[in-house]
Structures are given as C-alpha cells and as structure tokens.
Amino acid sequence: MSDGDGDAPDAWDRAASWIATRGAPFALAILIIWMIGIYGHIFTGEVTGDDNTFHFAESVRIADCLRAGDWDFWNPSANAGYASAYYYQVLPQLASAIPSALFGHNLFWFQLSVFLPHVLAPLAAYRGMRLLGATPWQSVCAAAVASFTAGESRWGGGASGTFAVGLYTQTWALTAFPLALGHAARWISHETELRDQPRHFALAIAWGTFVGLCHPFFFIVLGAALVAAFIGLVVRGAVLGISTRDFVGELIRSFLLGVVLLIAMAPIWLPLVFDYAGFGGFVRVGDEPGPGFGLLAKWYWHGKLFDWDRAGKLANPRVITALVPVALVFGRGRWFRWVWGPALLFALGLGLGPHLGKTEDDLIPMVRFLGAMQLLAALGVGAGMFAIGRWVWDRPWRGRWQYVARTGFSALVAALAITIAHPATIALSKQVVTLPDQTKWRHPPELATMIATLSVQPPGRKQALQGAESSFWNLLPYVRARRPALIQMGGGGLQASPNYGIAIYAHDVAKNAWLYDAPYIVFGNEHEDKMPVGDDLVVLEHYTLRRLPAPGLVSPVQVTGDLPAGRQPARKAAIAWLKTRLPLEDQFLEYQGSSGLRTPPQATVRRSGRTDSSGDEADIFAELEVTAPSTIVVRESWHPRWRAYVDGQPAVIRRVSPDFPAVDVPAGAKLLQLRFERPWWATLSFLLWPLLAALGYVTARRVLRAPVEAAVPTLPR
C-alpha cells in the first residue's frame, strides 16, 4: 500500500513492474504451449478439410518426384493430371514433401506442416507487432487475441479456414503476414531509424515473397495493407501535418518495395504469362465473392467474425466483438495505421465483393480478405486494449483507492481473459478433427479395405460417388496406394488442370468412366440403385467398389469437328460436347490450331501406362499396332509443355476435347511416348526470392550509408 500521497510504490506497483519488465516472454511461452494443447490432436490421423487431403496428395506426389530425381513434377493424382509446383501454393507442400522424400513417413510430415503454423502464429504475431512499434506486453496481448479469435466463416483464418475448407496454405500465409507487414513498415516508415532500414528492406522482400508464394492472394493482401497504411499517413498528415520529405520518402520506399516484390513473385506470374493456356482457373462456389455489407454486418453483430457461439453449452460472450470499437477509438500506438487501416480496407473489400463482378477465371475472390481482416483487427484489439489498460493503471489514484482500483481492474482483466480464452479453446479444439474421429460416418476400416483392393487392380482412375464424396475417399487412395481420382475440387489440381472446369459438369458416371479412364467407382450401398451396372470387386457393409468399361489411358479416336476460338467459348463448347454421346463413341473435337487427321482410326493399343517417376524417357507410353495413319488420344490433361515422341522422333501434339493431348501416328508398329518437360525458367525463378533479398540489403546499405557517413565529422588523428 502507498503511504497516502499516491507517489510511493505499493505491492501492485512492484508486481506490475516485475511483470512489465520480465513477464512478456513467459506469457508468450504459455500462449504457445496453449496452442500446442489445442492443435496437438492433429497428430491422431489425416486432418479434415477437403483441400488438406488434396494438398496432402500433392505433397506425396512431390515427395515421390524428389526421391526419384524427377524435377518436372507432373502429377496424375486427380483432374486428369496436372503440373504440380507450376503455378503457386507449393511452399507449404514442400515443407512436408522434402522431409518425406528424405525420411519417408508422409503422414507425420504433413501433420507437422498443418500443426506448425498454428503453434508459431503467436510468436510471429508478437514479433510482427514489435516491429510495428508495439511494446512487449501490447504484442503479447495482440498475439493472444489473434490466437483465440475463432470466427465461424469457413473462409476465415485460424482453425476455421484450416479445418472447414482445408486452407492450410492460407494459414501459412496468415502466420507469416505480421512479419512481412512489420518489416515492410520498418523499411517504409519515415519514423524508422536510418541504420535499420537495409536489414528491414531485405527481410521485407524475404517475408513478403514467402507470404505470396504460400498463397498468391496474400501478395495482394500485403500490397493492399501498404496502400491502406499510406492512406493513413495522408490522413494523419492532413490533420497533424507532415513534412514533404517524409511523405515523399514513404511513397518512394513503398513503390520500390512493391516493384521488387513483384519481380520476386515471378514463380507465380511467369507461368501464367507464358503458359496460361494450361492454367485451369477456378469455378467458384457461391460465397467466395465475399459476404457483402449486409451479411458482413450481420456476422459482426452476432459475434461470428471474431467469436464463436458453438463452444459446447456456452453462450457466445462476444467479448472480442465488443472490444473492436473500443480499441479502434481509444487504443493508440505507433502500430495503429499499419493495423487498423488495412483491416478497414479489407472490410470494405469484403463488402464490395459481390458487387465487383469477376475476372475471366475469377482469380481474385474478395472473401480471401476475411482471414487477414480478422487477424489485423484481433491484433489491434489486443494491443489497443493493453494501451487503454495501461493508461487506466497509471492514473494517479489517491490513498487506499489506488489499491482498490487496481485490484478491481486486475479482476476485470482476468475475467475478460477467461471469457475470451475458455470458450475459444473449446471452439478451436472442436474443429481439430481427424479421420479416426469420423468412424461413424466415414468408416475408416472400410476405406482401408477399399484402398487395399484398389492397390492390386489394373490401372485406371477412381470416382468417389454418393455416400463416399468426402476428400478422404477421394484422395487417400492416391496417398496410400497411388490410385488417381477423377475429380479434385481444390488445391493444385483445381488451378493447374484445364480439365477441372469441364469435368465438374459431367454427371454421367459411365461416360466419365469411359472418357477419363476412370473405371473404378466407390459408392454408399444405399445409392446402389442409382449406379450403372458393372463388376463388383468388393461389397462391404456400407460401401461397394465396382468396375465399369473403359478404353485405357491411351486409345485410338477420331477427330470429327472443331471447337471455337477463344478460351471461354472453347470451354463452353467442350462442356456441350461432353453432354452428348460423342465421348462414348470416341469422336472428339479439336481446339483451334490443332489440325490433323479426321479419318477413322485403324490402330490397336497393345500396352500402355505410366512410367515410374524416375527421370525416364517418358511419363506416359503406349505400344501400338497401326495399320493406317491414326489419331491416338492420351486421356490426360493437355499442357503446352507436353512433348511427344513416336519411335523416338518428335511428334506434333494436338489438343482435343475435353482437354487432352492427341498425336497422329503413321502406319506400323509404333512406340508412342509423352513427357512433361518443365521449362528451366520455371524452376530458376524461385531463386529470385533469396537473390533479391540479398541484393536489396546490399543496395540499400550502400545507398543509405553515404548520407549517414557524410553527416559524421572526421576526427583528427
């Protein structure tokens, strides 16, 4: 207690002093351990979230390629095959693929790659806020609120996005985003000490590129955040005044960082520029354009943006929701414009999303701003409320009221912390679901039996139909037994296969079996009356595996017509062709620029298949008996980087519907080979990331050192 004059330190002062100077690292460590407790359940099996399983399958394929020295990374796992690591989102997959290639144990390394971002997120948030100028305890509180934010949208950050949709690549980007923003702010801000800027310029390049390569939309997110922060500077300058030199300096440094980051992101845009014809694009579900202003306001009012109302029997306390306007209005710090400005801009994007239309392939879905908006608002709440609390704590209370006021205030803070952490812990833990948790509706033992049966069947893709639509039934057969799926509705297979945007419109099971060489169908027994007739390979209590007729991976066909010019017209025409009987009659249409034979084929395929991923001469081969020149189709996704060889000699590849490569083969006994040849620049472009970071450090250091050294007088000897 104080002696009555309110000046002498009391017990609360001494405790607060110790906590303020030494407590932040301990609190951060406790928070990380807390996250380990919440997310440790990941290691009990394959995690839920459709895209998680899709990314897992792609990681397994990349690991197989790395192990065999195949640097082309063609992936046959789904969507008629696609080029892995060709367009984007490869870094999180490499995090599990590289150790899997070295040590095996694919499942453990993928589990670890899903687990680590959640556990390291508090540390990254803490460091990012410190870079933005927050105090240690402001940063701890910011990290805590961000860790316990548990919005209900499946497109949001944290556990919601990771385990509802499977957006673990977004989770990686969100985890690193505070670091990218913090270093960018240190480089850009006129308040930064000059001697620190070269280091932060290099780290801003490194972390900014990392965020974009984890998920390309977060390159847009980072750019939008820097624009919003600059707008905040303009507003601040209009109110409080700012020198022209500082204003122009921030503008120049922002522009320079943006240009360098754009160059460093070449692994994404170079393939899109030169090989856009092989890009699959997106077919969006209804809520991806964004919620709009009305639904966004409704989410906020009902506590669904930052809190969770299904945490067991607990009612949603909506504490974070209630604190958002308080922290926004009253919380202040150097970090303010770097956090709240972008958060408000992202909210504007979410509101405008449904009204903005879309690009040709719908590459910029505004709902992707949601996770970043939640993260930054949570950081602002944590740091802002601590700043408010510190102001209250430091008021000059008199006499015994000092002890009473601070005791009451501490009790209030503890109550708020418990009210946030307890239901959020329950809600987050409930979302961490794995395959063994779904025994009653996924039947893992029957899935294992199906996979074992598929592993000994002849080649061919598999269709997961009614009653077996989950990602586990769809892609785990590839993970465990390398049995490809027909459709993969997310991850790399959606982005990099031009067949995805066509195949999802095909609902005829027997036609799909023939056209896509997908003869194996798995379905729930209650749907047996809707399935085509075939040979039952295994019938279990809940599921059946059946084989339908299919011509094989390579077969002779006839080209009978043309598709119209233009990306979208050709795709629409291919979808219309898909709904006719022509695919079952092996009558195909060709894309513009793919002219060749139109005669009926006179050829027999003696043997065809895939080679192991070991740097062989071909990815796909076929031994043919050709009595007259014939068109041979490979029921695999077309890509501009396929190369064909007939008896070892280069051959012209035609592009036919739905989006397959085909080759006109002359008469005779022939060996047809196709090899996907990844261009050298697609691989080397990844080196721009570290090289530009190093160059940025050296260049900025030399440029900025001169005026500093010039200002220091030379002392006489």
pLDDT, position 397: 64
pLDDT, position 316: 63
Distance CA 321, CA 152 (A): 13
Distance CA 717, CA 606 (A): 90
Q: How many residues appear in the chain?
A: 717
| The two structure tokens encoding residue 705 | 């050192």
Three-state SS letters, 578-635: HCCCHHHHCEEEECCCCCCCCCCCEEEEEEEEECCCCCCCCCEEEEEEEEECEEEEEC
- Please report, for residues 111, 306, 367, 456, 492, the alpha-carbon distance to residue 481 in angstroms, rounded to integers and kept in the order given: 19, 41, 35, 9, 20
Name the region of 506 (left: φ>0; alpha: ψ -120 to 50; beta: rest): beta
Buried b (16+ CB within 10 A) or exposed e, 286-309: eeebbbbbebbeebbeebbbbbbb
Distance CA 242, CA 233 (A): 9
Model pTM score: 0.92
Q: Contact, 177 vs 169, CB < 8 A?
A: no
Distance CA 83, CA 71 (A): 11
pLDDT, position 715: 41
Helix (H) or strand (E) holding 669: strand 668-676
Distance CA 214, CA 212 (A): 5
pLDDT, position 358: 66
Q: Which amino acid is at 344?
A: L
Helix axes of 106-131 and 369-393: crossing angle, nearest 10 degrees: 50
pLDDT, position 614: 56
98 exposure class (CB count in 10 Å sphere: 0-12, 13-18, 19+): middle
Distance CA 195, CA 187 (A): 10
Tell me the average confidence (pLDDT) per consecutive run of 10 residues in the chain, 717 residues long: 50 66 87 96 94 94 93 93 87 95 95 96 96 93 93 86 90 96 92 75 96 93 94 79 79 93 94 89 71 91 81 68 92 90 94 76 80 95 91 72 75 85 88 89 90 95 93 94 92 85 88 97 94 95 96 96 92 94 96 93 94 72 96 96 94 96 94 94 94 91 62 42
Distance CA 529, CA 305 (A): 43
**For tokens 């519907």, what's the residue?**
657
Q: What is the DSSP letter of 1?
A: -
- Please report, for residues 355, 503, 537, the alpha-carbon distance to residue 546 in angstroms, rounded to integers and kept in the order given: 46, 21, 5
DSSP 178-231: HHHHHHHHHHH-TTS-GGGHHHHHHHHHHHHHHHHHH-THHHHHHHHHHHHHHH
Distance CA 412, CA 352 (A): 38
pLDDT, position 400: 67
Distance CA 432, CA 381 (A): 25
Select from 615, 692, 497 the least CA-distant residue to 58: 497
Select from 592, 572, 561, 574 the least CA-distant residue to 655: 592
Cβ neighbours for 50, distance < 8 A, ≥ 6 positions apart: 165, 166, 470, 471, 489, 490
Buried b (16+ CB within 10 A) or exposed e, 210-242: bbbbbbbbbbbbbbbbbebbbebbeeeeeeeee
Q: Are strands 554-562 and 587-590 parallel, antiparallel or unpaired?
A: parallel
Distance CA 103, CA 82 (A): 26
| The two structure tokens encoding residue 472 | 């586990």
- Please report, for residues 144, 366, 410, the alpha-carbon distance to residue 28 in angstroms, rounded to integers and kept in the order given: 8, 33, 19
Q: What is the DSSP letter of 643?
A: E
Q: Which residues pair with 521 in a beta bridge?
A: 463, 546
Cβ neighbours for 507, distance < 8 A, ≥ 6 positions apart: none
